Homo-oligomer: A and B are copies of this chain.
């Protein structure tokens, strides 16, 4: 935890918060805080800054906060991701939050196992928990938007064109395609497939909505690694 994130409910005054949950445990056990210590904090959806520990007891801590710094810029990106297997999904939420993706659309694909859609990790609270871990890691206070699209075709045909408009549309896909571009400033819509990749029909449909295949080389990467590698290459 490189940043302590504050919820609205933590505030008892404009500059005072009370913490009682895992953040208190973390302050005590990992940071070994004492009264008078200063910590980096951020208000979820708002500014970042510092907090002084005014009071620290077994069951709660009181902090005085100064919020005066903007969070780091997000990437100019919408990430369209075929739903990964549950264990990978949790890590991907952390990774995309840490890397500054502002919007992720989880979409079905032919090679997504149907059972993946039943995972409790898709519950809003479970998603938020992983996103928060990513923000705490990277020092960011703004949650990415997560959109869930269980049906591929209606999403790609009816809603994707509006997302892609005015952006560079790309699909990460192994094969004889142009290499993924580097160091872009422009907004991008990037689609990344499931384990085993998109099927040709899906590539064709994504293409009609303005997303064209690019590749990262012969190596087949796990979804989490592919996401990180593509984002690091693009921006």
- Please list the residues of chain A having a beta carbon within 8 angstroms of any beta carbon in chain B: 2, 72, 94-95, 98-100, 137-140, 182-183, 216-222, 225, 228-233
| In the complex, residue of chain B having the shortest beta-carbon distance to the beta carbon of A234 | B232
Q: Which residues of B contact A225 (CB under 8 A)?
A: 95, 98-99, 228
Q: How far is the CB of A188 from chain B (nearest CB, A)?
A: 15
Q: Which residues of B contact A95 (CB under 8 A)?
A: 225
Q: How far is the CB of A196 from chain B (nearest CB, A)?
A: 9
When A and B form their complex, which 5 residue pairs have the shortest distance between CB atoms, in order from nearest?
A229-B232, A138-B219, A232-B232, A228-B228, A72-B218
Given contacts A94-B222, A100-B219, A139-B218, could you give 12 more A-B pairs where the C-beta distance is less than 8 Å?
A72-B219, A95-B225, A98-B219, A98-B221, A98-B225, A99-B221, A140-B219, A182-B183, A228-B228, A229-B232, A232-B232, A233-B233
| In the complex, residue of chain B having the shortest beta-carbon distance to the beta carbon of A179 | B183
Q: Which residues of B contact A222 (CB under 8 A)?
A: 94, 98, 137
Say yes or no: B221 contacts A137, CB within 8 Å: yes
